[in-house]
Structure 1
Amino acid sequence: MSTDAIVQPSRRSALKKALALSAATAAGMGGLSIPTISFAASLTKEERDKMTPETIIEHFKQGNLRFRENRPAKHDYLAQKRSSASGQFPAAVILSCIDSRAPAEIVLDAGIGETFNTRIAGNISNDDILGSLEFACAVAGAKLVVVMGHTACGAVKGAIDNAELGHLTDLLDKIKPSIATTQYEGDRSGKNYDFVDAVARRNVTLTVEGIRKSSSVLKDLEEGGKIRIIGSMYHLTGGQVEFFDA
């Protein structure tokens, strides 16, 4: 008997438990249907195409819950690597920060071939990133764009404190509109992490708005109901990923 044959039942068992929990949660959300996803292989086109943006969000919520409870799915990364070598069908594309404490795939308990990922300090957008998001959705078929900020973001703090360093200066300038438009009473300095977190959330919202404004491709896909573009915040303390419309 092969090793794959031995480990497969445990993967299916974990899958059934995760889907049962997802289904129970979905019952309170109008009966959303969560499709079967194999943890022992990457997403197939059929599996991805059965998903809606709403079911993908629910899938990520359950993955984040597993992460927070330290019971990750038993991913067979080697099997996922092999099954995705000839093609990929990710369900979502995530724009997140480079912060080492906020790896999107891990905090959402996602496997190989499940998400496109682009990371940049402060999870800001630019023309090259927009091109990547357009490829992920318009060409490869991803159905969800997630902009993920996080608490205690060093890039946001640097923008608040007017940090200057080579090319980083121009990057931080892209965050500064979020500082000016954040409604907050109290200390508006980088020393106050409640303010930093408020700006980080506002930065997510402005990034989402900027994606819609700057990419007619993604805007048309969203208005046509083929994708959703949403914001999220990863909380370093506690580990929760909070999803929200922006």
Structure 2
Amino acid sequence: MKSIAITKEVQSALTPNGVLQDLLEGNNRFINGNLEGADNAALVSQTTGGQFPKAVVLSCIDSRVPVETVLDQAIGDIFVARVAGNFENADILGSLEYSCKVAGSKLVLVLGHEACGAVKAACDGVELGNITHLLSNILPAVHLSADEVEGEANSSNKEFVAKTVENNVKLTMDRIREKSPILKDMEDNGEIAIVGGVYSLHTGKVEML
């Protein structure tokens, strides 16, 4: 059971690859029903004076993908930025930059998931209130997938949806590097890594892209 929060000294000694392996090991514990567990009261008291998370995860809002749980992370371990469709915008980029440049996180993980509702809606060209603008961020992935997958380019085509989920993660990673010189420089210098994965609703496993 985890009862000691990450300190600045511990965070500083971490490497991007080491953090990624830690998250994947946590995911394996989740899959195998062997969660580490945490003394939340102890962690709460230790983190009142500051936080030193090891990573920031950009994920979808989907209720079936509780990020800390599926990666078996405790209070103070990771930042989580959530938006339907797990894409970047100016506010998300600012949050990622804060996580890494200011607060010292070593990893940016863009985490998509199987059968994403936002991706399906984008595939079907849904237009509804502010959702229309939200889905416009996913359309580049839809268009890319239409050139890569045979069959209908809508949510009835499971292969098309799956490819769009993957492409959305990959394009989001590309745009993070393009739109954030801060994060790109940090990655180029080996201070952080920007990686992507897709969570399976059927197995609970995170598959890295």
Q: Same fold (TM over 0.5)?
A: yes
Distance in 2 separating the partners of 1:55 and 1:49: 12
1:1-58 alpha-carbon deviations (Å, 9 max, x no partner)? xxxxxxxxxx3xxxxxxxxxxxxxxxxxxxxxxxxxxx11221112212210111111
Q: Conserved in 1, the CA contact under 8 Å of 2:114 and 2:200? A: yes
Contact 2:111–2:197 (8 Å) recurs in 1: yes
Q: Percent identity?
A: 46
CA offset digits 1:105-151 (Å, max 9, x no partner): 11000001010110000001100110010000010000100000000
Matched, 1:65 2:28: yes
Shift in Å at residue 164 of structure 1? 1.1
Match of 2:173 among 198, 208, 215: 208
1:56 aligns with 2:16: no
> Deviations for 1:40-78, whole angstroms, at most 9, x for unmatched residues?
122111221221011111111110001001110021112
Alpha-carbon distance, 1:165 to partner: 1.1
Tell me which of the two structures has the higher relative contact order, counting C-alpha pairs closer than 8 angstroms and 6 or more residues apart.
2
Corresponding residue of 2:39? 76
Return the letter of the residue paired with 1:197. A
1:25 alignment counterpart:
none
Structure 1 gaps, min length 5: 1-10, 12-38
Distance 1:74 1:105 in 2: 11
Any conservation in 1 of the 2:149–2:159 contact (CA below 8 Å)?
no
Name which of 170, 188, 191 aligns with 1:226.
191
CA distance in 1, matches of 2:88, 2:7: 29
Letter in 1 for 2:156: K
Instruction: Map 1:96-115 onto structure 2 (within 5 A).
Output: 96-115=59-78
Alpha-carbon displacement from aligned partner over 1:158-204 (angstroms, at most 9, x marks no partner): 00111111111011011011011121122322112222111011000
Matched positions, count: 207
Partner of residue 8 from structure 2, selected from 14, 33, 45: 45
Between the aligned partners of 1:74 and 1:189, the Cα distance in structure 2 is 41
C-alpha distance in structure 1 between counterparts of 2:20 and 2:208, whole Å: 8
Q: Secondary structure at the match of 2:85?
A: helix
State the partner residue of 1:34. none
User: For 1:171 and 1:105, how far apart are their aligned partners in 2?
Assistant: 24
Unmatched 5+ stretches in structure 2: none
Matched, 1:191 2:172: no
Distance 1:217 1:74 in 2: 35
What SS class does the counterpart of residue 188 from structure 1 fall into? coil
Give the structure with higher Rg (CA): 1
Secondary structure class of the residue paired with 1:61: helix
Structure 1 residue 230 displacement after superposition: 0.6
Please list, as runs of the form range in 1=range in 2, the aligned pairs for 1:44-193 lying within 5 A after superposition: 44-182=7-145, 183-193=148-158
Cα RMSD (Å)? 0.9
CA distance in 2, matches of 1:49, 1:217: 18
Aligned structure 1 segments of 4 or more residues deviating by more than 6 angstroms:
none
